[in-house]
Every structure is written in structure tokens, then in C-alpha cells.
């Protein structure tokens, strides 16, 4: 009896043309792909080569899931590899997959191969086409986006066979990095060691991977949590202050943040979050090493010197892989012109990365948001206060923001931050009148929206995600989810925005979307705050995937920034343990949570979690009672 349960047919797109134009280069490129990608990957997925022809191969796999994972892994790897290669030199595959009938008789295998070949011909370059049988079987195990193909059927595809195409999106990338967990232990070892070159190509070089032989650096993410970037990626490292006073250090810090903010408005590139760039830079001696650890292709470094109202800024863009300087320049300006320097640096970086922008976005590349230096420094102080997340810190942040707005009444970012302080007051019970706090937040957002009729997509997204947060707390769930989804689409480089959108989706039972958004946020910010992990844990608990839920809850506990955040992480851990039937562990987590946050109560937990469905809260509350966190704790 034949062991092949799935047949995969693959062909190199334009093979004859490639060989005709430059046979030596084409053969060298194909040999490298075969050596570094195909051989180890076939073995890792339990596949075998059935036959090979010029530019085409037929493979057999023991099940549909492994065939699909192999195809997705290969196509994503080639997508990353081809990113900077001329179109006429790219090596691309078309892939088709069909399931064989039970028994594996020769006739059935021949029929499956014929259909796989027809599906392959229907696939786009770099694409994967599958039959309805393969689709149904794959989706039972792997979370993928699969869409029907509207195309004329070929003779080799029976009229009764529906054709589908696998989308190579974030779900596909996630499936690749999590796929090794589905294999038996022996096969998994082959996957980890045999695919070292592939992992280096797809994950380390594109998304930032700090796992190797089961170890990882402190504070970064694990292999199952990362996503590969499908666009040029950059990290802006902290600009060094050459001035000894504290104002100079704050100025350099602010310039770095503004450049990151401006670059983040450009969806054609992936920009590592400020928190990740700053933390990783502190633990690394060389910018190139930091860039490698963050998994980006380029790093921007620089220095700032303040002297007698004059500012000197030096900036340099480097290629992480080669260490080559792509662009460097010195800017000598008055203090009042420093914001123009930030925009100039941003645009020069984009030109060096060959990113084409619209005139509107070029004109709107304003990371600082104000031309008043003192207002900018005041906003930074208010942001630092806000991040303490206490009742007193919200009051102090608003006091500072009042001073900021006196200096610049039209400071968009100051209005947004003030709105967020009121939202936190409402969520955490810091204010006596919850509705009044939400109304105050909404009024500030309206004021911000009227400042400039030409807001960028990123600025509109920031407005919308803040409004989504307000709407979720106010019980306007449909509006909240719609705003969250559009915000994530329009600002793909803002990790906190993506994570907040995941927060909204989670309370709406859209757990898959929530997990995807949160993992996208993690790929941009590998030193992400603990609440990202907490919500992924909670999502997995509601999905009934308790092993994942418990693993992520432990990550949340380990990353907790203070006692309050640690208590929340332990609450989510108690929820996961209780739902998994691990009562003793749930009680232990609950006891730790109460120790970290003695004033915790069921009412506090409910107010902070705006569930759309009452039964979801009831499930959570039952778990808290199991863990020993009940009304008696108030």
C-alpha cells in the first residue's frame, strides 16, 4: 500500500525563458534553492520526490496538512528571497495539491497527480492552488485564508472539482512558524536542524528571531510568536546626545521618536517600534548587531548636539547584512528648525530605500506634530507620566498637557493623549463620573479631527483607534470593531494601535483576528508590553486551546512591568488554568494575583473588561471564583 496521501506538483515559472537568457545564472539560482530550501524542507515535512523533469517536480506527502505547510513555507521563502531581485531573474513556483483516495492504488495516484498538475497550471506565479478536498482537510488543522478561484477549468481538473487558492498573508506566515509543533518529536528535530538555512532566510533575516537550540535572549519573543516582514524593514536606533545636560538627552530622544513616528506612517516599509529599538540598543554594542537581533534589513543611527540655540544632527543609514553605509549627512540648524531636519532625514531615508511616496504623504511627513520645541518637550514629559497608569499620574499628565496646549493650541498629539487619560479614568474607575470621562475624551477627539483637514492615514488611524477604545468601554461594540479594523489597516506600523485593535476584537469574540493583530504587533515590537501576551493567552483560553493559553500567560507574568501588570497577568493565568481543569494551579495563580494587587475585586475586573456578551463575563467570573478571586476579596 502506498503511503502518499497528497500529491504536490510544482513548476518553475518561465523556466525555458530563464535558461535561454542566462543558463548559468539560472542553474546556480535553482541549485541554491534546491540545496537551502527544498531538500531539507521535503524531509522535514515527511515528503518524498516521486519524479523530476526539467523545471518541474512531483512530490508525495503522508497527509494533506504537511503538503500544504510545505507549499506555504516554500512560497513564503521565495517571496522573501525575491524581494530585491529583478523580475526577469526571479525564480518562482506555481504549485498545485490534490488528495489521493484511501488505499493509494496506482490508478488513484495517477489521477491525483493529473489533477494536481491541472491545479498547478491554474495557480498564479508564486501561488498555490488546491482542490476542495484539500481545502476541507487542511482547514481542519491549519488556520489559513483560502479563497475560490474564478477561472476556466482545464481538462486535467474535473468539472466537479472546485479550485481554491491559498493566500500568503499573515495567517500563512503564522502557520509556518507554528507548523513544527504539529510533528512528532523525532520529525521535529529534523525540522529545527534541517531547516536552519530556511529559518535563517525567512525568519531571522526578515522578522527577528532570537531562538536557537531552545534558548533565547531575555525580553524578546519566541519562534511561534513572530511573523516575517514582506516589505523593507528598518530600525531607528536612539540618536546619541553629544550634549552633557539633560535637555540635550531629551532632545535626542525626541528626535529619534519623531523620525520613527514619521517613518511609521509609510505602509510600504516595516518600522520596528521605539520601545524595541531603545531596549535592544541598550543591550548591544554595535548598531549592526542590534539590527540583526531585531531582524531588520536597515538601521538608522545618529547623534544630536545642542550649543547656543544651534543644533547639529548627524544621521547615517546602513545595510545590516553588509554593514555598508547607504547614506549619511550632517545638518546644522537653529533650534527652531530641528523639526524640518527630522522630516528631511525621513524623506532621505525613504529615497535611499527606493520608496515612492505621494505628494500628500511627503508633505504630511511630520513626526513631531508641532514646531514649538517646548511644547514637544512638555508632551514627552506628559507621556512619561501617563505610562505610570495610576489615578495620580493621569491627573499629572493632564496638568502637563494643559501647559503644552497653552504653547501650541493645535497640537494634535497632545489632544489625543489627553483623551486617553480620560478613557483610562473611565475604564479603571479613577473618575467619579464614568460617562463624563468618556464624553470628555470624545470631545477632545473631535477637536483633534478639526485641526487639520489633511490628516495622514496614520493620524486618522490614531483618532479612530482611540474612538474605538472609547466605544468599546461605552458598549458601542459594532462601531468599536469597525473602527479598530480600519485603524489597523491604515496604520500597519503602529504596534500599540494593532494590539489595541486586537483588544477590541477579543471582547467581540473575534479571537482569531485578535491573535493575528497582537502577533503582528509583536513582530514590530519584540520587547512588547506584558498586556499583549495577556490578551493572546485570554483569546486562546476562550478558544479552548489551553496549552497555548497557559504558555502565553507565563510569558505575560515574566514580562510584567510592575505589580499591577503582574496581577493582571496572573489573573489571565488563573483563567487559563481554571478552564483547563487545573484547579490547584488556578488557586495558586489567584493567590499570587491578590498578593500583587490586594485591592482587586470582581467589580474592578468587570469594569476593566468590556465584554460584548454577558456569558463571556460569566465564564470569566466562574473561573475567578475557582481561583479564589471573588467578591470577598473586595
Domain with residue 55: its CATH number is 3.30.70.1230
Give the DSSP letter of residue 155: T
| Same domain flag for 457 and 538 | yes
In tens, the pLDDT along 565-585 reads 899 999 999 999 999 999 999
Q: Do the domain assignments include residue 188?
A: no
Give the DSSP letter of residue 631: G
- When mean pLDDT is compared over 77-86, 269-278, 398-407, the highest value belongs to 398-407
Label each residue of 382-413 as H, E or C: HHHHHCCCCHHHHHHHHHHHHHHHHHCCCCHH
- pLDDT mean across residues, the chain: 79
Across the range 587-603, mean pLDDT stands at 92
Q: Do the domain assignments include residue 60?
A: yes
| Same domain flag for 345 and 244 | yes
Contact between 596 and 565 (Cβ < 8 Å): no
Contact between 265 and 179 (Cβ < 8 Å): no
Contact between 182 and 141 (Cβ < 8 Å): yes
| Same domain flag for 587 and 530 | yes
- C-alpha to C-alpha distance for 557 and 388, rounded to whole angstroms: 18
The yes-or-no verdict on residue 495 having pLDDT over 50 is: yes
Q: Do the domain assignments include residue 279?
A: yes
Q: Do the domain assignments include residue 190?
A: no
| Same domain flag for 450 and 410 | no
Write the burial class of residue 35 (CB in 10 Å: 0-12 exposed, 13-18 middle, 19+ buried). Answer: exposed
pLDDT at position 44, please? 81
pLDDT at position 573, please? 96
| Same domain flag for 49 and 101 | yes
| Same domain flag for 435 and 481 | no
With both helix axes pointing from N to C terminus, report the angle between 563-579 and 530-543 in degrees, rounded to the nearest 10.
10
pLDDT at position 620, please? 96
The yes-or-no verdict on residue 213 having pLDDT over 50 is: no
The yes-or-no verdict on residue 385 having pLDDT over 50 is: yes
Non-local (6+) Cβ contacts of 152 within 8 A are: none
pLDDT at position 214, please? 26
| Same domain flag for 493 and 621 | yes
Task: State CA 209 to chain mean position distance.
Answer: 13
Nearest to 115 by CA among 149, 71, 154: 154
Non-local (6+) Cβ contacts of 312 within 8 A are: 242, 304, 305, 330, 331, 332, 333
Q: Give me the phi and psi of 343, to 5 degrees please.
A: -65, -40
3-state class (DSSP) for residue 342: helix
pLDDT at position 150, please? 60
| Same domain flag for 422 and 459 | no
pLDDT greater at residue 356 or residue 186: 356
Q: Do the domain assignments include residue 555?
A: yes
Residues of 603-616 as b/e, b for ≥16 C-beta within 10 angstroms? eebeeebbbbeeeb
Q: Give the whole-number percent of the chain exceeding pLDDT 90.
A: 24
Contact between 239 and 316 (Cβ < 8 Å): no
pLDDT at position 429, please? 80
Q: Do the domain assignments include residue 210?
A: no
The yes-or-no verdict on residue 360 having pLDDT over 60 is: no
In tens, the pLDDT along 292-325 reads 878 788 889 888 887 777 788 888 888 888 777 7
| Same domain flag for 406 and 471 | no
The yes-or-no verdict on residue 285 having pLDDT over 50 is: yes
The yes-or-no verdict on residue 457 having pLDDT over 50 is: yes
C-alpha grid cell, residue 298: 536597515
Domain of 355, CATH number, reads 3.40.50.10070
pLDDT band at 355 (very low <50, low <70, confident <90, very high): low
Residues of 314-343 as b/e, b for ≥16 C-beta within 10 angstroms? bbbbbebeeeeeeeeeebeeeeeebbebbb
Give the DSSP letter of residue 212: B
70-74, 96-100, 239-243, 553-557: which has the minimum mean pLDDT?
Answer: 239-243
**What is each CA distance from 109 to 20, 271, 633, in whole angstroms?**
34, 47, 65
In tens, the pLDDT along 71-95 reads 999 998 888 888 767 777 789 999 9
- Domain stop point among 422, 445, 468: 445
Domain of residue 531 covers 446-633
Q: Do the domain assignments include residue 331?
A: yes
**What is each CA distance from 64 to 130, 187, 425, 549, in whole angstroms?**
10, 16, 51, 27
| Same domain flag for 454 and 431 | no
Contact between 130 and 9 (Cβ < 8 Å): no
pLDDT at position 233, please? 84
C-alpha grid cell, residue 302: 545618529
H-state helical runs in 22-166: 23-33, 39-44, 64-81, 106-122, 132-139
pLDDT at position 1, please? 44
The model carries a pTM of: 0.55
Across the range 220-244, mean pLDDT stands at 65
- C-alpha to C-alpha distance for 423 and 472, rounded to whole angstroms: 11
C-alpha grid cell, residue 26: 539560472
- C-alpha to C-alpha distance for 385 and 383, rounded to whole angstroms: 5
In tens, the pLDDT along 506-558 reads 999 999 999 989 988 888 887 788 899 999 999 999 999 999 999 999 999 98
The yes-or-no verdict on residue 101 having pLDDT over 70 is: yes
307 forms bridges with which residues in the sheet? 310
Q: Give me the phi and psi of 186, to 5 degrees please.
A: -60, -45
pLDDT band at 156 (very low <50, low <70, confident <90, very high): low
Work out how many domains the chain is built from and give that number: 4
pLDDT greater at residue 356 or residue 559: 559
pLDDT at position 222, please? 31
Across the range 10-21, mean pLDDT stands at 81
3-state class (DSSP) for residue 145: coil
Which of left, alpha, beta for 208 (phi over 0: left; psi -120 to 50: alpha)? left
| Same domain flag for 483 and 545 | yes
The yes-or-no verdict on residue 45 having pLDDT over 60 is: yes
Across the range 438-465, mean pLDDT stands at 81
- C-alpha to C-alpha distance for 461 and 473, rounded to whole angstroms: 18
The yes-or-no verdict on residue 264 having pLDDT over 70 is: yes
- C-alpha to C-alpha distance for 222 and 177, rounded to whole angstroms: 10
| Same domain flag for 455 and 420 | no
Q: Using CA atoms in the order 218, 202, 173, 211, what is the torsion angle rounded to 10 degrees?
A: -20
Q: Do the domain assignments include residue 119?
A: yes
Domain of 460, CATH number, reads 1.25.40.10
Amino acid at each position: 500500500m502506498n503511503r502518499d496521501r497528497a500529491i504536490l506538483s510544482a513548476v518553475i515559472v518561465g523556466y525555458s525563458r530563464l535558461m535561454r537568457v542566462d543558463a548559468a545564472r539560472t542553474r546556480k539560482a535553482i541549485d541554491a534553492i534546491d540545496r537551502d530550501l527544498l531538500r531539507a524542507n521535503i524531509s522535514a515535512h515527511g515528503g518524498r520526490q516521486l519524479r523530476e523533469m526539467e523545471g518541474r517536480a512531483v512530490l508525495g506527502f503522508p497527509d494533506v496538512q504537511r503538503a500544504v505547510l510545505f507549499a506555504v513555507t516554500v512560497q513564503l521563502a521565495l517571496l522573501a528571497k525575491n524581494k530585491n531581485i529583478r523580475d526577469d531573474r526571479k525564480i518562482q513556483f506555481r504549485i498545485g495539491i490534490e488528495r489521493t483516495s484511501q488505499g493509494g492504488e496506482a490508478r488513484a495516484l495517477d489521477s491525483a497527480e493529473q489533477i494536481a498538475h491541472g491545479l498547478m497550471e491554474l495557480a498564479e506565479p508564486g501561488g498555490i492552488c488546491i482542490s476542495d478536498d484539500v481545502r476541507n482537510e487542511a482547514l481542519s488543522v491549519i488556520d489559513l485564508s483560502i479563497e475560490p478561484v474564478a477561472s476556466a477549468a482545464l481538462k486535467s481538473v474535473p468539472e466537479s472539482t472546485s479550485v481554491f487558492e491559498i493566500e500568503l498573508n499573515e495567517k500563512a506566515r503564522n502557520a509556518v512558524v507554528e507548523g513544527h509543533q504539529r510533528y512528532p518529536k523525532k520529525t521535529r528535530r529534523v525540522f529545527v536542524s534541517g531547516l536552519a538555512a530556511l529559518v535563517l532566510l525567512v525568519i531571522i533575516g526578515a522578522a527577528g528571531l532570537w531562538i536557537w537550540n531552545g534558548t533565547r535572549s531575555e525580553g524578546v519573543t519566541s519562534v511561534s510568536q513572530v511573523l516575517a516582514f514582506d516589505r523593507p524593514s528598518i530600525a531607528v536606533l536612539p540618536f546619541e546626545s553629544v550634549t552633557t545636560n539633560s535637555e540635550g538627552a531629551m532632545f535626542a530622544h525626541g528626535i529619534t521618536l519623531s523620525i520613527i513616528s514619521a517613518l511609521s506612517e509609510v505602509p510600504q516599509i516595516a518600522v520596528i517600534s521605539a520601545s524595541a529599538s531603545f531596549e535592544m540598543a541598550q543591550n548591544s554594542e554595535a548598531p549592526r548587531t542590534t539590527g540583526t537581533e531585531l531582524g531588520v534589513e536597515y538601521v538608522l543611527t545618529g547623534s544630536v548636539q545642542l550649543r547656543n540655540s544651534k543644533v547639529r544632527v548627524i544621521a547615517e543609514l546602513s545595510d545590516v547584512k553588509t554593514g555598508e553605509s547607504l547614506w549619511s549627512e550632517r545638518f546644522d540648524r537653529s533650534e527652531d528648525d530641528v523639526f524640518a531636519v527630522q522630516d528631511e532625514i525621513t524623506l532621505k531615508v525613504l529615497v535611499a530605500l527606493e520608496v515612492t511616496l505621494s505628494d500628500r504623504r511627503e508633505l504630511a511627513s511630520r513626526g513631531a506634530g508641532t514646531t514649538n520645541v517646548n511644547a514637544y518637550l512638555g508632551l514627552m514629559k506628559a507621556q512619561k507620566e501617563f505610562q505610570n497608569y495610576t489615578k495620580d499620574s493621569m491627573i499629572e499628565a493632564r496638568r502637563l498637557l494643559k501647559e503644552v496646549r497653552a504653547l501650541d493650541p493645535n497640537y494634535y498629539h497632545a489632544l489625543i493623549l489627553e483623551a486617553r487619560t480620560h478613557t483610562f479614568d473611565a475604564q479603571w474607575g479613577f473618575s467619579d463620573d464614568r460617562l463624563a470621562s468618556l464624553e470628555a475624551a470624545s470631545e477632545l477627539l473631535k477637536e483633534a479631527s478639526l485641526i487639520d483637514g489633511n490628516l495622514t492615514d496614520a493620524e486618522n488611524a490614531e483618532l479612530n483607534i482611540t474612538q474605538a477604545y472609547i466605544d468599546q468601554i461605552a458598549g458601542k461594540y459594532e462601531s468599536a470593531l469597525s473602527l479598530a479594523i480600519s485603524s489597523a489597516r491604515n496604520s500597519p506600523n503602529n504596534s500599540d494601535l494593532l494590539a489595541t485593535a486586537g483588544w477590541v476584537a477579543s471582547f467581540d469574540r473575534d479571537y482569531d483576528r485578535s491573535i493575528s493583530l497582537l502577533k503582528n504587533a509583536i513582530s514590530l515590537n519584540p520587547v512588547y508590553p506584558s498586556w499583549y501576551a495577556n490578551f493572546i493567552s485570554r483569546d486562546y483560553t476562550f478558544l479552548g486551546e489551553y496549552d497555548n493559553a497557559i504558555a502565553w500567560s507565563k510569558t505575560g507574568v515574566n514580562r510584567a512591568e510592575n505589580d499591577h501588570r503582574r496581577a493582571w497577568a496572573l489573573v489571565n493565568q488563573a483563567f487559563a488554568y481554571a478552564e483547563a481543569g487545573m484547579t490547584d494551579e488556578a488557586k495558586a495563580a489567584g493567590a499570587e494575583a491578590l498578593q500583587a494587587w490586594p485591592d482587586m475585586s470582581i467589580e474592578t475586573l468587570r469594569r476593566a473588561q468590556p465584554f460584548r456578551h454577558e456569558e463571556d463575563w460569566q465564564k470569566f467570573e466562574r473561573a475567578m471564583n475557582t481561583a479564589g478571586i471573588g467578591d470577598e476579596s473586595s
